[in-house]
Amino acid sequence: MSPAVDRVLELARRGPVTARDLAALGVPRAHLQRLCARGDLVRVGRGVYRGADSEATELASVAEVAKRVPHVVVCLLTALQIHGLTTELPHEVWVLIHTRARTPHIQGHRLHVVRASGAAATYGVEARTIEGVEVKVTSPAKTVADCFRYRDHVGLEVALAALRDYRRKGRGRRGFSVDALVEAARADRVFSVVRPYLEALA
């Protein structure tokens, strides 16, 4: 095998790869079919592949979605999972897109899409590496603020639980300050909603 194919297999063991990744490494698409036929790669979605011997984590679907649609921002229940602010494992990948963006559809994955514009769409977006894939995800503070903004989607009880976990688990952790939460709530225009609950926990 060529060094480029070896590199593809190495990447595929760490996380999902696409035909575009192969092209960037100078590997013809025909090699992709051969690698699948030999059992070195397994197709996990349209245009997305993993190494046959790779071990997918509980965030595998997040990495695969980010690989297919890198412009989406992982948010709400999925972001709570990433930040350790819930023990629930969501059955969908929750993503935030711009109000005017086209709704993504990804074969093999269920998405729960919410929309925003302005600061609510851009504030508090971080980059995380999950299974070798760069994923855009809302910060811990923005995630909690979003739970209040989109409480009709997630339920007020989920938002309150997220706030309690943020205050309890976030003590001394970077990015979990009250000030960060206040700024995120203001960006989301829900500070007046969050404030009484935040004061009750002070």
Q: pLDDT tens across 146-188, in order?
A: 999 999 999 999 999 999 999 998 777 777 899 999 999 999 9
29 and 120 both lie in a single domain: no
76 and 40 both lie in a single domain: no
96 and 187 both lie in a single domain: yes
140 and 115 both lie in a single domain: yes
Which residue type is seen at 46? R
7 and 84 both lie in a single domain: no
pLDDT at residue 32 in the model? 75
Range of the domain at 70: 60-201
Of the candidates 128, 63, 123, which has an alpha carbon nearest to the alpha carbon of residue 93? 63
pTM for the predicted model, two decimal places: 0.79
42 and 65 both lie in a single domain: no
107 and 151 both lie in a single domain: yes
| Measured distance CA(142)–CA(9) in Å, rounded | 36
44 and 66 both lie in a single domain: no
Torsional class of 175: left (φ above 0), alpha (ψ -120 to 50), beta (otherwise): left
43 and 128 both lie in a single domain: no
114 and 189 both lie in a single domain: yes
84 and 33 both lie in a single domain: no
Q: Are 94 and 162 in contact (CB under 8 A)?
A: no
Of the candidates 63, 81, 195, which has an alpha carbon nearest to the alpha carbon of residue 138? 81
CA dihedral 149, 118, 97, 198 (to 10 degrees): -20
64 and 44 both lie in a single domain: no
Residues 9-44 pLDDT 10s? 777 777 777 777 777 777 777 777 777 878 777 777
* Domain count across the chain: 2
Question: Average pLDDT, whole number, for the chain?
Answer: 87
